[in-house]
Structure 1
Amino acid sequence: MTNTPQDLGFGVSLIDLQESGEKGRTGAYIVRGESKTALIEVGSSHAAQTILDNIAAMGLQPTDIDYVIVTHIHLDHSGGVGYILPQFPNATVVCHPRAARHLIDPTRLIAGASAVYGEDLERIFGTILPVPEERVLALADGETLDLGGRTLTFYDTPGHARHHCSIHDSGSEGIFTGDTVSIRYVPELTGWDFACLFPSTSPSEFDRDAVFQTVERLQKLHAKRIYHTHFGVTEPATYAFERTLKTVADYDAFSREMFRPGLPWEDLAERIREYIRADLAEHGHHVHDLSGIELDIRLNAQGMLFVLEKEHAKQNQ
């Protein structure tokens, strides 16, 4: 076994999926109620054995998993669902209503990911298999799961993607926010001696206004903590909300200032690097090496340009 689960208290445990050998990038969570147990996020199929090993380390059997929940269908969150599901014979896959058909038939999902990752798709995300339709439960906004002594409430939270849900857990007074309320970068990944939050604006459905509306809505739940898929816990939750609002507004502002049709994404990526270094310096962290988050910087630049090119095209029809 490559690692062990981290007990976060409140019946929640964090599994470091160590995708591509990277510690602290992507996590899955085990949430235990009095009668049922949920696994939130699965990563790619490469993470399947890590999940099974960690479940065993917690004294659980695969038959103890009642729900496999994915916040959205980007492959670093849900790519391995169809692959690992046969190991969980009692589990129902729970997702956003917009996500269900893509889990059942991932053809378009794979095609879209191939456009971004090209020949590296299988190397990065492994085998992507369909989920049997009878094992998929799509929960609409406000619907719930009862784990026994704690309730998971699902909220429609677009901004990062239109097929994104966030899950409020009454047992921990926390919210599992996927990629909607920033990425939490930790020392295990970056090599820095601090954690920090920056937004995810990756292709192709990033929506600034939807992010603002989602954060405003989640703030009203008065949660105490945020459980990020990437990676770990932010307390208090108010910090994650405030940080997301500020950095998304900043990314949008400097991207619009720079934009011109045909702008190379590399130019915007360099501007994002400048922003991150300046922002960290403002908080007393003088960092030059951004290699641990370079992939996200590139995707964020591409995502912002996708939005602005689309806006430009619409305005010039």
Structure 2
Amino acid sequence: MDLPSFMQRAADGVYAIDTGFQREGFDAACLLVQDGRAAFVDAGTNFAVPRLLAALDVLGIAREAVEMVIPTHVHLDHAGGVGLLMQELPAATLWAHPRGARHLIDPRVLWQGALAVYGEEEMNRSYGRLVPVDASRVRTTEDGMELRLAGRVLRVLDTPGHARHHHCLWDETSGGVFTGDTFGLSYREFDVAGKAWIFPTSTPVQFEPDALKESVLRIAALHPQRLYLTHFACVSDVPRLTALFLSILDAMVALGRGLPDSPERHEELKAGLFEIYLASLRQHGCAMTDSEIHSLLEMDLELNAQGMGVWLEKEAKQNISKN
């Protein structure tokens, strides 16, 4: 079957759908299909919903055959479109992390939190108004529980570190984990000789590096053949990517703890993060110019520096309280 340009077959019964958020090749939702039944993992923003519905049409799946919508966490590039999507899927149940479910039922706090980071103009341009989900259609997950799609098992993994409201899904059938943002970001522009490059994301406001390391090691211990990343699509060679992820995470932590708390720290974090990523990419064999690399990573540098700043402030307060 020929697929439209915004869809790719990631594995057996797993399709990555480019949501078109920010740019092509940046943000993906996944559609899982088993024996004519379906589930979405992540949903992008409101503006992604037409593509998600079109993917169903391409595969000949009725709206009523979608049983579950499962956002990995409630950041808006993953869950901003779930309310609008649920309106189109009359038989679907929304499965959310217990820390995030209430924000999908009543998204006002979620909206205000994102508004503080992005501003109203960007919120309207990139996300649109959030649509609440009827509480009767929402269920919460627990670590280790199993969700079933036509007998296909998805095991829930509680994976804090990027956000405390983050869970991942282990699909043993395809040997893959739907990782959301826990296992970082991997843009296809940085692939070299078929090998992916990956790096952690520390976007505001719940970046916790120790918890993140534990979550990544827990995923790696499953020995998955592949990872389904929201940013972006499917990657394999998981042992190598695990080592790369952890090495960059350690470097990010060392950078943050080595900088004094000053008005210049945010800009110093951005500059330091770029040096870390650039050195890693050069070692990876990336031949892009520095400016091309910086352009692709510009938004991540800003958001990761913001998130690290929040983490460093929390850590400083904890150290004061201990003393």
Same fold (TM > 0.5): yes
Aligned-residue offset at 1:70: 0.4
- Which of 292, 307, 317 is matched with 2:296 structurally? 292
Q: Is the 8 A contact 2:6 2:19 kept in 1?
A: no
Tell me the residue number matched to 1:171: 173
Q: Is the 8 A contact 1:149 1:171 kept in 2?
A: no
TM (norm. structure 2) is: 0.92
Tell me the residue number matched to 2:9: 7
Q: 2:136 matched to 1:134?
A: yes
Aligned-residue offset at 1:149: 4.0
| Residues 201-216 of structure 1: pairs in structure 2 closer than 5 A | 201-216=202-217
CA distance in 2 between counterparts of 1:8 and 1:313 reads: 44
SS of 1:24's partner is: coil
Aligned-residue offset at 1:4: 4.1
Q: Which amino acid aligns with 1:161?
A: A
Q: Is the 8 A contact 2:192 2:284 kept in 1?
A: no
CA distance in 1 between counterparts of 2:295 and 2:36 reads: 43
How many residue pairs get aligned? The number is: 314
| Residues 174-189 of structure 1: pairs in structure 2 closer than 5 A | 174-187=176-189
Q: Is the 8 A contact 1:41 1:78 kept in 2?
A: yes
Aligned-residue offset at 1:219: 2.2
Q: 2:314 matched to 1:310?
A: yes
Q: Structure 1 residues 171-180 or 30-39, which shifts more? A: 30-39
Q: Which runs of 5+ in 1 are unaligned?
A: none
CA distance in 2 between counterparts of 1:124 and 1:191 reads: 27
Q: Is the 8 A contact 1:5 1:57 kept in 2?
A: no
Q: Which runs of 5+ in 2 are unaligned?
A: none
Q: Is the 8 A contact 1:94 1:136 kept in 2?
A: yes
TM (norm. structure 1) is: 0.94
Q: Is the 8 A contact 1:68 1:94 kept in 2?
A: yes
CA distance in 2 between counterparts of 1:152 and 1:35 reads: 17
Q: Is the 8 A contact 1:155 1:167 kept in 2?
A: yes
Tell me the residue number matched to 1:36: 37
Tell me the residue number matched to 1:124: 126
Tell me the residue number matched to 2:223: 222
Q: Is the 8 A contact 1:80 1:127 kept in 2?
A: no
Q: Is the 8 A contact 2:146 2:154 kept in 1?
A: yes
CA distance in 2 between counterparts of 1:129 and 1:2 reads: 28
Aligned-residue offset at 1:148: 2.4
Identity among equivalent pairs (%): 37
Post-superposition Cα deviations, 1:148-177, rounded to whole Å, max 9, x if no partner, equal 242001010000000000000021011000
Tell me the residue number matched to 2:156: 154
CA distance in 1 between counterparts of 2:268 and 2:314 reads: 18
Q: Please give the root-mean-square deviation of Cα atoms over the aligned residues, in Å.
A: 1.9
Aligned-residue offset at 1:192: 8.5
CA distance in 2 between counterparts of 1:298 and 1:109 reads: 20
CA distance in 1 between counterparts of 2:276 and 2:106 reads: 39
Post-superposition Cα deviations, 1:126-152, rounded to whole Å, max 9, x if no partner, equal 120111101111110011111124200
CA distance in 2 between counterparts of 1:301 and 1:53 reads: 36
1:191 to 1:12, Cα distance in 2 relative to 1, 3 A: closer
Q: Is the 8 A contact 1:12 1:30 kept in 2?
A: yes
Tell me the residue number matched to 2:65: 64
